Structure 1
């Protein structure tokens, strides 16, 4: 396998950072600056990096409050499955993760990633800012030793394939790639798909070689990975309101002063709206380009009602305990 340029340097950088505890609470040039590592899995051009993580870093670093944020994009400090363990251990200070990845540490949070649980980003934000969302964050902190600072919109997730997908029946016989997590595999079953787990890094090649027939991701991610080159149709199923949680090790949080906490929290929360706009602007621009070029085919007449009804029936019948209660609360709060 050909090594990507810079991969060795990234690994060495990660090792150096982890060996020193990611510089958390270490002195800076002035002998008293708190340095926080902020990791993620996105490239520098992804909206979450340039319109979210970097915005937070710039906002905090631009204030004279004794805090410096160092960002580590593109999985420099580990992939999604390992980075959160590093945050819990205190080796990485801050991270951006989907709730399905976090559900291994606290199962109820995985509800945020369930198919058709939310009716879009407004519904997601309203829930997250309300009483139930606050309770979920508190329970998550107790269970994991990490604090959720806020939720960011990742984009609506859609199916791509080499054929149109308008109804759940159109998924029959297609090997659809889903991330290897219980929540996503449940989503596949909920909408009637046949899931195949493939590493994200191998997605393009797997589609090109027809090991799989299709996949699901937000539009900016599909474009960023050039998946439209190996897929003829992008079907606007909007089957998941993609979200990402900004988390911080709670010990690090407690070590910050009240002023520093307030500044960090404000920077993360203030970035939410701009990050969403960046995601949605990118999506609109990409779709307009695809329509202009005539490929891939954009399938807009998707029967989302049929998909959503199938998913709700599945989750209502299969979820249990606190997770089932949280799911019902979310659906009851739909506008």
Structure 2
């Protein structure tokens, strides 16, 4: 709590108007300044807001704290906005975890179509009602795949591997449903952990695999596509309630347009990286029959979890 309080003081939390009467909202996120969400998504969002008297000032690379800390600051009205994954939002509303559940979406395209058509809006409204924080449709962050020093083509090949994943309950649930087990490790320790054999494998979106140079310590990329991930912008309750109806509508429209731009940029980046890996031979790429993982995972997650009802509902929407 002391850390959160210190960060709150640093965050200059309340929405402020500058000398030109532009309302400045401060947003924290963990991505690097070169990430597509920053250079495409937030750029587009601010361009759309230019004539509306609103500016979103971003603080990348966890300058104001990691995902948990920044979201806590938003929840306590000590920071205006934050960008977070469903697993972190799920701390405040367990049903929201469903959007990070393995094989909940058939593809990035399916997820994008479902989100933009309003298929997940009920979850967003429920989150707002439960927490007071306003949360918006997700921005595509990337599809997670697995790397190792051998192909991972079916659940049997996961068993016995020390697989690094983030230390969050839903990742353990996902990987267990796929037939493996998680060795938690901080992201900045993964390269060394793989190099020294502390872990055998890991899973991440392609841009993370590339920027962390994991091709130097892993020979195989298996396109499991087990998580189609989104990040969601949240706004503090006091900030959202202080906006006029017109400002709320303009901000929501700009965030959704930013999400469109982010989606296009991330998809292009994933295609580029995959083509480069194939052309330079830095990793052996294995196409995976998703059914080998997908069917048992969906059967496992559709029952017995707080998000299972929502899981089944979203699967039905894609049929």
Answer yes or no: same fold by TM over 0.5: yes
Name the structure 1 match of 2:298.
312
- Measured in 1, the distance between the counterparts of 2:277 and 2:113 equals 32
- Measured in 2, the distance between the counterparts of 1:201 and 1:223 equals 14
Which sections of structure 2, spanning at least 5 residues, go unmatched? none
Q: Which of 25, 32, 42 is the aligned partner of 2:15?
A: 25
- Measured in 1, the distance between the counterparts of 2:121 and 2:271 equals 32
- Measured in 1, the distance between the counterparts of 2:303 and 2:24 equals 47
Maintained 8 Å contact 1:51/1:278: yes
Q: What displacement does 1:123 show?
A: 2.9
Could you say what secondary structure the match of 2:12 adopts? Answer: helix
Name the structure 1 match of 2:33.
44
Structure 1 21/72 Cα, relative in aligned 2: closer, same or farther at 3 Å? closer
Task: Trace 1:131-142 onto structure 2 (pairs within 5 A).
Answer: 133-142=120-129
Could you say what secondary structure the match of 1:42 adopts? Answer: coil
Structure 1 25/317 Cα, relative in aligned 2: closer, same or farther at 3 Å? closer
Could you say what secondary structure the match of 2:25 adopts? Answer: strand
Name the structure 1 match of 2:176.
189
- Measured in 1, the distance between the counterparts of 2:22 and 2:159 equals 57
Name the structure 1 match of 2:308.
324
Name the structure 1 match of 2:214.
227
Which sections of structure 1, spanning at least 5 residues, go unmatched? 1-13
Q: What displacement does 1:324 show?
A: 1.6
Name the structure 2 match of 1:276.
263
- Measured in 1, the distance between the counterparts of 2:47 and 2:88 equals 27
Q: What displacement does 1:159 show?
A: 0.5
Q: For structure 1, which segment, 227-236 or 46-55, has the greater mean C-alpha deviation from structure 2 after superposition?
A: 46-55
- Measured in 2, the distance between the counterparts of 1:274 and 1:290 equals 25
- Measured in 2, the distance between the counterparts of 1:296 and 1:115 equals 24
Q: Pairwise CA RMSD of aligned residues?
A: 2.0
- Measured in 1, the distance between the counterparts of 2:85 and 2:224 equals 19
The alignment covers a number of residue pairs equal to 316
TM-score, with length taken from structure 2: 0.93
Name the structure 2 match of 1:286.
273
Alpha-carbon deviations, 1:272-295, whole Å to 9, x = none? 222111111111111111111111
Name the structure 2 match of 1:150.
137
